[in-house]
Every structure is written in C-alpha cells, then in structure tokens.
Amino acid sequence: MPHNVKLILPALEDIFLVTPKVNAPQEASGPRMAIYKAAIELFGENGYTATSMRDIAKKVGILPGSLYAHIDSKEALLLEIVESGIKRFLSIESNIAASLEPPEARMRSAIKAHMTAISENLKKYSVVFQQWRYLSGENRTRAVEMRRQYAQSFTNILTQGIESGDFRADLDMRVTVFSILGALNWTIEWYSATGTMTAEEVGDKMADTLLQGLRSDASVKKQTSKKRR
C-alpha cells in the first residue's frame, strides 16, 4: 500500500524561523491542540494506519470533515508528532554537548534525560519510534536524518570516553550506541508511570549497568576502589 500523500511543507529552517500556524501548535489549548493530543493517543494506542480520521474526530468531539479546517492531512499530523519528539531529544543532546562534564557523567545525563523525556509522554514516543515509517517521501527522509543526528551525539560521547581512557577501547561504536538506545527506547514497551520507579530511578539503574559495561580496565579499578573507601 503506497503512502504517497502529497504534502507541501516549509523547509526545516523556516520551521525554526517563522513557525507558521499551520505547522506547530503554539497554543496550549484550542481545537488544533485537541486534535494533536487526540492523534497522539490514538496513533500511540492503535497505530497510525489503524487509526481513522473519524476516530480522531470522535475523540475531539467534532465531525470528521471539520478536522480539515485545522489540519492539512493525516500525514501532516503524524509528521508534527514525530518531529516534535525528535526535536525534544535533539535539544537534550545540544545541552549535554555544551556541558564540560567528563564522558561518563555526560553519558549518564544523556541516559537519564532521554528516559525522563520518554516517561513524560509514553504514547507520543511510541509514535516517534514505531510510526515514523508511515511518513512518505521527504517527510520520512527528514525524520530519518534527525534520528541519525541524535544517535551521532551518543557516538561522540563514546569517542571522547575512549580517547580519555575512561571507556574500553574495544567498543564497537555501532553496536554500543544502538544497544544503549535500544535499552532506552524499549522502555515504551514496559515502563509504566504508575509503577513504583520514577523515570529518573530507571535511568539511574540503567546507567549504573551500562556505564560499568563501558569502562576500561583502568577505569574499573579506580571505580571499585572508590566504592570500597
């Protein structure tokens, strides 16, 4: 089944500069935001293709045709959700890249911030991780590029850690970065906000294990003697 919905969208720089009303919900409420939130819920719960515009309209409380007074298309709605989620991650990344902490502390911060972001809107990130593939053409290309950029920021921390001698020199970049991201992103499958652990605790526990796994022998010895003190 082809996904060749045609969308004429502003270039990336235009989004950052002018943010036209049609492309991002600025208002904290209003019909447009209600549609956006309903779409997150339904796309997250049932998936993009299994959700009809009629489902969204019903949840919002208007008739199906009326949706198009506020949005351009179903795919535009998906694009908006996916991009806002990845942008959140990219903004985390740029904060951490700017910090002066050593690699291990930077990695822990990145893991915890990522986990916190996911926990704040599990359904949204379920859409970001699993539904982006229903974007077509350049929308899809753009989303893939943004994800790649984010993954690169983890690679950078790893590289610096290896150079400083904190991390093992035999790490495979690709396997390691995707293992960390996989452990993090898989949380949408099991983490529940109503559980006993906060997102920060989960992030800390995850970092405890993953960081010990990354450490070089020299770094391990320093670390264990530190604990024993």
By the rule CB under 7 A, 10 interacts with DNA: no
**Site mask for a second copy (CB under 8 A), range 177-196, x = bound:** -xxxxxxxxxx-xx------
Q: Which stretch binds DNA (CB under 7 A): 36-44, 49-57, 113-121, 159-167?
A: 49-57
**Closer residue to DNA in complex, CB, 42/206:** 42
Among 23, 59, 73, 122, binds DNA (CB under 7 A): 73
Distance CA 38, CA 55 (A): 9
Q: By CB under 8 A, how many residues form the interface with a second copy?
A: 49
By the rule CB under 7 A, 37 interacts with DNA: no
Q: Give the count of beta carbons closer than 10 Å to the beta carbon of residue 166.
A: 21
Instruction: Give the orientation angle of helix 74-98 with respect to helix 137-163, to 10 degrees.
Output: 20
**Closer residue to DNA in complex, CB, 73/156:** 73
By the rule CB under 7 A, 98 interacts with DNA: no
Nearest 5°: the CA angle 9, 32, 87 is: 55
Distance CA 14, CA 191 (A): 36
Distance CA 168, CA 185 (A): 24
Among 46, 66, 149, 164, binds a second copy (CB under 8 A): 46
